[in-house]
Chains A and B, each alone.
Chain A
Amino acid sequence: MATTAATAGTAATPFAFPSTYNFPPFFTPQPNSTTRHSQLQKWSSLIQSWCRHHRTYRLSLVDAVDSPLFHNAALRKRLNLAEARAVVDWMTKKEEEGGGGQRAEWIEGAAAGGNTAPKSVAWIWWRRPEEWADVLVDWIDVTGQRGVVLTVFELVQGEATVSQGRSLITQTGSTENGRADHLAEFHGMDNDAMMKALNVLVKRGKASVFGNEGEEGVKFF
């Protein structure tokens, strides 16, 4: 399974970095707690928008530290692995704990590049599983598929999610544009991420998942 999945369409437009990305102190951990908090927030939103742009659900820090995300070649500044880990660590914490609102989640025991050390790969929740669940429910509602059994593969890779998304854009017009984008967003989603979203729906009683590992079917109520 690929740890990063980027669709051809989104990779075509280059990622627009925020202005702070070119601010050299951005890459140095700040000792002042207020400044540090603000810095972490900026990093968090940068990582989220980076992952969203590249359709990345799992971020392997070992690979990412050499990517433009953590390495600003123009400034010759980078966030090293430990610092990147600190940032993601902060993102995994709840906001009440002074963290980044659980926008990331460590994947325990995940191997990346032969590195089995803990805290090397993380889910980056630019949409939290609960939010993904909402997106799915919305899509089911709009497309009128309540009560229909779908396979997970269909949801993630199926033609329907692409075409539905696109047709919706044309149907609903510009005012619904944002929502239409969301609807198509889970196309090409990481399977495990999709399962997490579906599990949220199961818990809510809005769907049931059945079938074997790898060939799950899902029914929305």
Chain B
Amino acid sequence: MFFKSLDLTTALRPLLLPDETLLFVQDAVGLYEGKYKIPDYQNGHAYLTSHRVCYVAAEEPRKFSVGIDLKEVDRAEYQAGFFKSSPKITLYPKPQKGKTDKSRSATASPAVSQQSSLLPVHPSSPRPHSVVPQPSASPKPVNATWICPICSFSNPVPSNFDPATATATTHLPPCLACGIKPPFITVLKAAISAAASRDSPLPSTTSLPTEDNAQKHGGHSGSSGLMGSVSCPRCTFVNHPSLIECEMCGAPLTTGGPSIQGDDASRADSPAPFFAQSRIANSEVTDSIKLSFRNGGEKTFHERLKGALIQRKWLLQNAPPVPLPSQAAASPSGPAIATLESPQPSAPRVTAVGIAGLEQRGLETRMNNQLVIGNAFEDLEALMASAKQIVALAETLARESGMTTNGGASAETNAVLSESAAALGMVTTKDMLSSGSENLYLSELSRNLAEYLTDDRKGILQREGGIMSLIDLWAVFNRSRNGVELISPSDFQRAAELWEKLKLPVRLRRFKSGLLVVQRYDWSDEKTVRQLQEWMEELRRVPPDETIPWDWTVFGRAVTAQEAAQRFKWSVGVAAEELGMAEDRGLLCREEGIEGLRFWSNHLVA
């Protein structure tokens, strides 16, 4: 069992793998290795997902966050609290095959190098290095990359991709560069070859890791590095030793021996549990990890952990949908989307041609849809199970209606709906948290929102010109939740108010009129003022269409909130507020007339 480094999202939550879902969150959790507390890992959030148990520290989360794969967990035991001892959950690893714990020191560094490359390296985040030096028993694709046949971009093989269990139906993430899904065989080959190369001993670097290891046991790591530079294992480009990714091709530099140096350099300032443990434990290491729940929530956590261990979602990636109960003859079998023509035509179907055939087909489709919708709404459980299907159906319906009405709005709706499918796995619902922990719910919701806003795939904030009213956000966000587990406005506002406290990359801002808007944290009034100023300058250079009684080369032209909204892609309410803000600062002045309120560059103040 390993502590693995975690990739965190912008909102400092663990980045979920494809098909991974969040099951439970609990705050005020501490980590134990065996009997001993791990320093710096004593106050954080524990995230239970369908694949992992993750720990993210409250202070310096980028430094102190680890994850444990559930597939390496044998069982979990619950231990009730006693006097001052908090209730704990102990995770026992699966028994090791072939290797004993005594091989620790000898095999430590390959494990280290392998561990550090288990997850795709997040370039912007300093990676936590929290590694228990135990060799992995199960074969695992490590640091594998597959080359996209379309654009020849090197993509990492998803870490939950196991060549042993993967089949052609396994969900594969699309190419990071071009977005085309790779052929299954490409990824499989890459994974196998990577696994093979990892299993073979490293011939030239065997001496280095041990040396390195000795350094680590000495309690310090040399940041100078034995070698001046690191050559990339893939393209052989000679990189600076402090780089963790190849400058040329982006390959992680942690595979080979020399790269450990590079890894080490960045590690110098972060004392990971590895050191800590070797300090605390020295020889006595019990092979279990404990989560100490200082703020309750352990019962639900344990329950859901057991459930996740039984379900073993990591085995069946992209499982076929729940088989439909008692179906009419016309219903499709397998994973076909309801509106699609069923691949195997049902038996009593008459092969009609012409208009009659088309009509029959339409009838069948309608019945199909009816069935899907009917099943979905039978009860809530069924709705959750068939959410994917329903979303797909809604998308096709939206597309159809979009064809007839041809509205930009419907395209927007479509986009929101398709987003929602992705959002399903990532939302925090009250259900995931133990009752009574209102604060935790709010802070998780707050992080959730920040993620949603900063997600580049959706680009919510960008589309709105970097600023968005809280009400709009509330509407869009609730819409993306598909009408399930909607957030109350008061919860929403309180969550938004937490952004600043949690140091998230968005901020809530109150305009003079009381309008609440959401902005990127680095956005300031000065930037807006500068933008407006540039615009005013521009207007002074453009000759007006009709003759006007004033001197346009001096005064320019008036702008309305609508025009500003259009230009900066703000909503009108936001535009009015921003113009008002600029007026307050003396940049603009107003003109009220029959055309409404218009703003001018301020020529009244000399």
Interface residues of A (CB under 8 A from B): 19-20, 22-28, 30-32, 34-35, 38-39, 42, 72, 74-75, 77
Which residue from chain A places its CB closest to the CB of B589 in the assembled complex? A25
- Interface status of B600 (Cβ within 8 A of chain A): yes
**Which residue of the partner chain, among A32, A34, A75, contacts B549 with CB atoms under 8 Å?**
A75
**Which residue of the partner chain, among B551, B554, B584, B603, contacts A32 with CB atoms under 8 Å?**
B584
**Which residue of the partner chain, among A22, A31, A38, A75, contacts B604 with CB atoms under 8 Å?**
A38
- Interface status of B592 (Cβ within 8 A of chain A): yes
**Which residue of the partner chain, among A19, A22, A28, A77, contacts B590 with CB atoms under 8 Å?**
A28
Which residue from chain B places its CB closest to the CB of A26 in the assembled complex? B604
Residues from chain A with a CB closer than 8 A to the CB of B602 are 25, 35
Residues from chain A with a CB closer than 8 A to the CB of B355 are none
A-B contact pairs, 21 of them (CB 8 A): A20-B603, A22-B549, A22-B550, A23-B600, A23-B604, A24-B591, A24-B593, A25-B590, A25-B600, A25-B602, A25-B603, A28-B590, A31-B583, A31-B590, A32-B586, A35-B602, A35-B604, A38-B604, A38-B606, A72-B549, A75-B549
Whether A38 contacts B600 by the Cβ 8 Å rule is no
Q: A22-B549, A23-B550 are in contact. Are A35 and B558 (CB under 8 A)?
A: no
A71 CB → nearest B CB, Å: 13
A145 CB → nearest B CB, Å: 42
Whether A30 contacts B554 by the Cβ 8 Å rule is no
Residues from chain A with a CB closer than 8 A to the CB of B558 are 24
Residues from chain B with a CB closer than 8 A to the CB of A23 are 550, 555, 600, 603-604
B544 CB → nearest A CB, Å: 13
The DSSP consensus for interface residues of chain A is: helix
- Fill in one digit per residue for B266-297: 1 if any A CB lies within 8 Å of its CB, else 0: 00000000000000000000000000000000
- Interface status of B185 (Cβ within 8 A of chain A): no
Residues from chain A with a CB closer than 8 A to the CB of B590 are 25, 28, 30-31
- Interface status of B605 (Cβ within 8 A of chain A): yes
Among B551, B583, B604, chain A packs the most CB atoms within 10 A around the CB of: B604
Q: A19-B554, A32-B584, A32-B586 are in contact. Are A24 and B600 (CB under 8 A)?
A: yes
A84 CB → nearest B CB, Å: 16
A156 CB → nearest B CB, Å: 37
- Fill in one digit per residue for B562-599: 1 if any A CB lies within 8 Å of its CB, else 0: 00000000000000000000011010011111000010
Whether A42 contacts B604 by the Cβ 8 Å rule is yes
Task: List 6 extra interface pairs beyond A20-B603, A20-B604, CB under 8 A.
Answer: A25-B590, A25-B603, A32-B586, A38-B605, A42-B604, A75-B550
Whether A32 contacts B583 by the Cβ 8 Å rule is yes
- Fill in one digit per residue for B522-556: 1 if any A CB lies within 8 Å of its CB, else 0: 00000000000000000000000000011100110
Q: How large is the interface on B (under 10, 10 to 19, 20 to 34, 35 or more residues)?
A: 20 to 34
Whether A28 contacts B555 by the Cβ 8 Å rule is no
Among B551, B554, B605, chain A packs the most CB atoms within 10 A around the CB of: B605
Whether B604 contacts A30 by the Cβ 8 Å rule is yes
- Fill in one digit per residue for B121-165: 1 if any A CB lies within 8 Å of its CB, else 0: 000000000000000000000000000000000000000000000
Bound Cα distance A31, B554 (Å): 22
**Which residue of the partner chain, among A22, A27, A30, contacts B551 with CB atoms under 8 Å?**
A22
Which residue from chain B places its CB closest to the CB of A77 in the assembled complex? B593
Whether B550 contacts A24 by the Cβ 8 Å rule is yes
Among B558, B583, B589, B591, chain A packs the most CB atoms within 10 A around the CB of: B589
7 A-B pairs with least C-beta separation: A74-B549, A25-B591, A22-B550, A38-B605, A25-B589, A24-B591, A28-B592
Bound Cα distance A1, B367 (Å): 95
Bound Cα distance A32, B587 (Å): 10
Residues from chain A with a CB closer than 8 A to the CB of B600 are 23-25
**Which residue of the partner chain, among A19, A28, A35, contacts B605 with CB atoms under 8 Å?**
A35
Residues from chain A with a CB closer than 8 A to the CB of B584 are 32
A1 CB → nearest B CB, Å: 36
Whether A34 contacts B605 by the Cβ 8 Å rule is yes
Among A24, A28, A38, chain B packs the most CB atoms within 10 A around the CB of: A24
A149 CB → nearest B CB, Å: 48
Residues from chain B with a CB closer than 8 A to the CB of A30 are 589-590, 604
Residues from chain A with a CB closer than 8 A to the CB of B592 are 28
Bound Cα distance A10, B603 (Å): 30
**Which residue of the partner chain, among A22, A28, A34, A35, contacts B591 with CB atoms under 8 Å?**
A28
B536 CB → nearest A CB, Å: 13
Bound Cα distance A35, B586 (Å): 7
Residues from chain B with a CB closer than 8 A to the CB of A26 are 604
Bound Cα distance A68, B551 (Å): 19
Residues from chain A with a CB closer than 8 A to the CB of B593 are 24, 28, 77
Bound Cα distance A35, B605 (Å): 6
A15 CB → nearest B CB, Å: 17
B475 CB → nearest A CB, Å: 31
Bound Cα distance A72, B598 (Å): 18
Whether A34 contacts B586 by the Cβ 8 Å rule is yes
8 A Cβ contacts from B8-53 to A? none
A47 CB → nearest B CB, Å: 16
Which residue from chain A places its CB closest to the CB of B602 in the assembled complex? A35
